[in-house]
Amino acid sequence: MAYSDNISRLSRLTGILLKLQAKTAVPVEKLAEYFKVSRRTIYRDLAALEQAGLPIIPIEGKGYGLMEGYRLPPIMFTEEEANALIFGEKMIAKTKDESLIHEFNKATDKIKSVLRSSEKEKADFLANRTIIGKNWKEERTSNYLSDIQKALTNFQVIQIEYRKEGATENSIREVEPFAIYHNTSENWVLIAWCRLRKEFRSFRMDRIQKLTYPLEKFVPHKMTLDEYVEIQREKHFNASVTKG
């Protein structure tokens, strides 16, 4: 087995453990679908985890779970905190960026793994009884938010292929990420210093066709986000007054 295959399987085994810790029972079919492998592979993985000493038990009609009390972590969540987590998960699920949903779900799996069985059952019940409106089609229009977040916090220049509304061709821009916001149309927007235009510009993430890293750092901008917002407020307010 190749080294990369070993790493892939180790990652999957860890993921399966987190799934088992996060819920009272997980169907084999769901695990196979999530990890994009066959059911036979999941059964082999479960057997490997059992051989490693994990108390995995079959739950009739529901799949597999972990024996109650297994490695109960010392950090616990209150019911109110768990409920807040469920609402956060539901709200994130409505966002249009696939990368954010994927990373948030991995994080919540780790957090849910510290809940007792009774708390998991309540969390699952609440999730099934909670509806967050908008984005009814569950459409995903971007997949770069996680990369942009990382570039922003590490002061990393990114190069984007961007297509403006109504344009037929992409423009290539090198930009310095400054801030991120979620507009009223439920789209994620990057505020960045555009090296081509030599000014701050807003880029809707669903219009970014490709993103790469030139392996270059930039000097953090001295302007604060509050100062930027105030400049934009004055700019747009004055513009609306002039138009009137």
Give the model confidence (pLDDT) of 117-144 as tens digits. 777 788 788 878 887 777 666 788 888 9
* Sign of CA pseudo-dihedral 142, 143, 149, 155: negative
User: Same structural domain for residues 149 and 239?
Assistant: yes
Higher pLDDT: 163 or 242? It is 163
CATH of the domain at 5: 1.10.10.10
What are the angstrom distances between the C-alpha of 65 and each of 71, 80, 122?
14, 24, 16
Q: Give pLDDT, residue 88.
A: 86
Range of the domain at 124: 72-137
Span 30-85, pLDDT tens digits = 999 998 899 999 999 999 988 888 899 999 889 999 887 665 454 566 778 778 88
95 shares its domain with 66: no
Domain boundary among 137, 169, 187: 137
| The domain boundary residue, chosen from 39, 71, 103 | 71
Let me know whether 159 and 238 are in one domain: yes
What is the model's pTM? 0.61
- Kindly state whether residues 61 and 96 are assigned to the same domain: no
**Is 149 found in the same domain as 112?**
no
The total of structural domains in the chain comes to 3
pLDDT category of residue 210 using cuts at 50, 70 and 90: very high
Q: Give the residue among 110, 155, 124 at the shortest CA–CA distance from 14.
A: 110
Classify burial at 37, counting beta carbons within 10 Å of its beta carbon; exposed 0-12, middle 13-18, buried 19 or more.
middle
Residues 214 and 234 in one domain: yes
Residues facing residue 231 across a β-bridge? none
Give the total residue count for the chain.
244
Angstrom distance (rounded) from CA 168 to CA 163 = 8
Domain check: are 151 and 114 in the same one? no
Show which of 137, 157, 192 is a domain's final residue.
137
- The chain-wide mean pLDDT, for the chain, equals 84
Give CA–CA dist 25/62, Å, rounded.
Answer: 6
Give pLDDT, residue 89. Answer: 85
